[in-house]
Amino acid sequence: MESDNNLPNKDRQAKLIKAIEQGSDEVILSMLIDLKEHGETFYLETLMEMVIGNRSDILKKAIVEFISNVKVNAAAPIIANFIQKNKTNNNIITLVTASWQTILDFSKHLNPFFDILIESDYGCSFEAFTVIENNISELTTEELSYYDAQLKLGISKANQDKEPLLLEMASLLDETKRAAE
């Protein structure tokens, strides 16, 4: 029988994902320590599924902490795409929070965060605001204009509690656009 290290990369990845999916919380917690050392991203979606799924709070917290410490920029589109696909899930706030804690470059992947800022409850919107704020300086003037137009449509539909947050983002977009010009 081949050792895992001799398996072709895709087979090794598939075997690891299957082990994560089928593992008990205790096994997955111990795997997180090993995964942290390798810095690969192919298993992130599987782990994020567990955060929004029916797993123990201890495991969810460990996975969110793990994601918060990811420093590989290739993880940004994976995280952003997962958030986009699952933005209405009640547990998505934990992944949005982890997104700003990672300090990854999400500047090319801000659509889901603007969607959440505009559409979600205040708590989740505030977390999305932080991700956007951390990445706004990397946007082009065209991107800033696009998000500004999207935001202005959202402000007109926002409830009174969220309106100040959205207006603050509009102000940040305008400020950043003026600085870029």
pLDDT, tens digit (0-9, with 9 covering 90-100), for 157-178 = 888 899 999 999 999 999 999 9
Closest CA to 12 of 36, 33, 38: 38
Lowest mean pLDDT segment, chosen from 23-32, 61-70, 143-152: 23-32
pLDDT above 90: residue 43: no
User: At 8, is the pLDDT very low, low, confident or very high (cuts 50, 70, 90)?
Assistant: low
Domains and CATH numbers, the chain: 4-180 (1.25.10)
Amino acid at 48: M
Note whether 132 and 169 are within 8 A (CB). yes
Helix or strand run (H / E) with residue 44: helix 44-52
14 pLDDT higher than 90: no
Average pLDDT over every residue of 136-147: 95
Can you give the pLDDT at residue 156? 86
CB of 77 closer than 8 Å to CB of 58:
no
Average pLDDT over residues 53-72: 92
Instruction: Tell me what pLDDT residue 36 has.
Output: 72
pTM across the whole model: 0.87
| Lowest mean pLDDT across 23-37, 42-56, 105-119 | 23-37
Looking at residue 160, its pLDDT comes to 87
Joined together, the tokens standing for residue 48 give 């994020």
What's the whole-number mean pLDDT along residues 74-96? 96
For 54-69, b/e burial (b = at least 16 CB within 10 A) is ebeeebbebbbebbbe
